[in-house]
Amino acid sequence: DTAVSQTPKYLVTQMGNDKSIKCEQNLGHDTMYWYKQDSKKFLKIMFSYNNKELIINETVPNRFSPKSPDKAHLNLHINSLELGDSAVYFCASSDHEKLFFGSGTQLSVL
């Protein structure tokens, strides 16, 4: 029973398209995150949600919009995809002591 699950695992799309990545956690945590890991392997925090409320937005372009329908879900919608958006996106949840990560979504923008 996966604790933090993301779908899809791979996403290949054309520039200019709009796409979404879904994340669900069954750990009962109040806080969820999106991280981006680029080709140089740096892992950067993008967003943090606590009880469906946006807490952190780390200077991410407006084309990225997180949505949290309930505290177990945090989806990431990306508009007008650009080549530079190609990366691995990780969802995570926290019990305020440690983070639990999903297995990642590899996004390739062509």
Partner 1 sequence: DAKTTQPTSMDCAEGRAANLPCNHSTISGNEYVYWYRQIHSQGPQYIIHGLKNNETNEMASLIITEDRKSSTLILPHATLRDTAVYYCIVRVRGYDMRFGAGTRLTVKP
Binding site for partner 1 (CB under 8 A): 4, 31, 33, 35, 41-45, 48, 56, 88, 90, 92, 94-104
In the complex, minimum distance from the CB of residue 99 to partner 1, in angstroms, rounded to a whole number = 6
What is the full DSSP assignment across 69-102? EETTEEEEEE-S--GGG-EEEEEEEE-SS-EEE-
Q: Are 22 and 88 in contact (CB under 8 A)?
A: no
Query: Given the complex with partner 1, which of 13 and 99 has the nearer CB atom?
Result: 99
In the complex, minimum distance from the CB of residue 80 to partner 1, in angstroms, rounded to a whole number = 27
Query: Given the complex with partner 1, which of 53 and 82 has the nearer CB atom?
Result: 53
Question: Bridge partners of 35?
Answer: 45, 90
In this structure, what DSSP letter does residue 27 have?
S
Query: Given the complex with partner 1, which of 1 and 97 has the nearer CB atom?
Result: 97
